Amino acid sequence: MTSFLVAAAATLAVGASTANSEQLRAQRVLAIGGAVTEIVYALGEQDRLVGRDSTSTYPLEAADLPDVGYIRALSPEGVLSVKPDLVLARENNGPPEAVEVLKSTGIRWVDVPDDFTLDGVDENIAIIAAELGVPEKGNALRTKVAADIARARKRLAAIDDRQKVMFVLTVEDDKINTSGTGTAANGIIELAGGTNVIADFAGYKQISDEAVIEAAPDIILMMNGRGEAADHAAPNALLEAHPALSTTPAVKNGRIIRMDGLLLLGFGPRTGEAVSQLAQAFYGHEQH
């Protein structure tokens, strides 16, 4: 550990404690993970934020906060530079060596679970509200978010024929990286009433052209800015020219849906909005 880190750790460790009273007094909060930052803002506690990671792009005001780096490529120097007394971090943070160093400094570090379910959204809000010492605000937000999601899903009960959806993470050199089970993409597809056609593996993986053709998705779902042609007048040209994707009902029928990545996959306070937009895109003309 560099002399800078030793000095910073010593300074930050003074008075650091995991006692509840200390948690309630945390005034220099660092949020790592887009959904974590959104929850802090939704709780009205943004004035305590001293930094955020590069995935925290919503709300727009978050851009004014110091950026400590990408959630999976954190450095002790970057995190310690904002002098936090509480770090709220989505648990897919890293690298492990850097996080281990940071946890050893005495700063309170709370890993917020990656759980891409309704219960997961609820739990994340409860954890963050408790750490910030505002459980009443947390309860109010949990109630609102649950109501938003329930309202967005209400009309799906009448849908019998579920759309078959393939989430495409990237298309590079004609290689398709897609989502299996246990991912945010899988979770949001199911919440919006779709069926993930890739269910024989967990996580994100590259699949063969044969697997794409066999899956025959009705809809291809992507984040904005992924798999787009350089010619913005024809953003889906790369997909339409792909030897496997071009054979799918999704491409043949022009059913390629794109959404903001943090809204789509964040599983934060805007999950109801994401479900509503996606369900409308899946079944718009069928809902009443």
Count of the separate structural domains present in the chain: 2
Q: Is residue 152 part of a domain?
A: no
Q: Is residue 186 part of a domain?
A: yes
Q: Are residues 95 and 181 in the same domain?
A: no
Q: CA-CA distance, 288 to 279, in Å (whole number)?
A: 12
Sheet of strand 29-32: strand arrangement? 49-52, 29-32, 86-90, 108-112
Q: Is residue 124 part of a domain?
A: no
Q: CA-CA distance, 47 to 25, in Å (whole number)?
A: 13
Q: Is residue 219 part of a domain?
A: yes
Residue 84: CB atoms within 10 A of its CB come to 26
Domain final residue pick, 112, 129, 145: 112
Q: Are residues 67 and 167 in the same domain?
A: no
Domain final residue pick, 83, 112, 141: 112
Is the distance from CB of 103 to CB of 88 less than 8 angstroms?
A: no
pTM: 0.88
Q: CA-CA distance, 277 to 263, in Å (whole number)?
A: 10
Residue 87 one-letter amino acid: V
Domain final residue pick, 75, 96, 112: 112
Alpha-carbon 31 to chain mean position: 13
Q: Name the percent of the chain in helix, strand, coil, to the closest 5.
A: 45, 15, 35
What's the domain range around 180? 158-286
At 2 the pLDDT is 47
At 197 the pLDDT is 98
In terms of phi and psi (left: phi > 0; alpha: psi -120 to 50; beta: otherwise), the region of 121 is alpha
Instruction: Output the tens digit of pLDDT for each of the chain's 288 residues.
Output: 444 444 444 444 444 434 444 445 689 999 999 999 999 999 999 999 999 999 999 999 999 999 999 999 999 999 999 999 999 999 999 999 999 999 999 999 999 999 999 999 999 999 999 999 999 999 999 999 999 999 999 989 888 899 999 999 999 889 999 999 999 999 999 999 999 999 999 999 999 999 999 999 999 999 997 766 556 656 788 899 999 999 999 999 999 999 999 999 999 999 999 999 999 999 985 444
Q: Are residues 89 and 170 in the same domain?
A: no
Q: Is residue 266 part of a domain?
A: yes
Nearest partner of 191 among 222, 153, 148, 159, judged by Cα:
153
Q: Is residue 132 part of a domain?
A: no
At 47 the pLDDT is 97
Residue 24 sits in a domain whose CATH number is 3.40.50.1980
Q: CA-CA distance, 181 to 167, in Å (whole number)?
A: 11
Q: Tokens representing 36?
A: 């974590």
Q: Are residues 105 and 190 in the same domain?
A: no
* Residue 179 phi, psi dihedral angles, 5° rounding: -105, 130
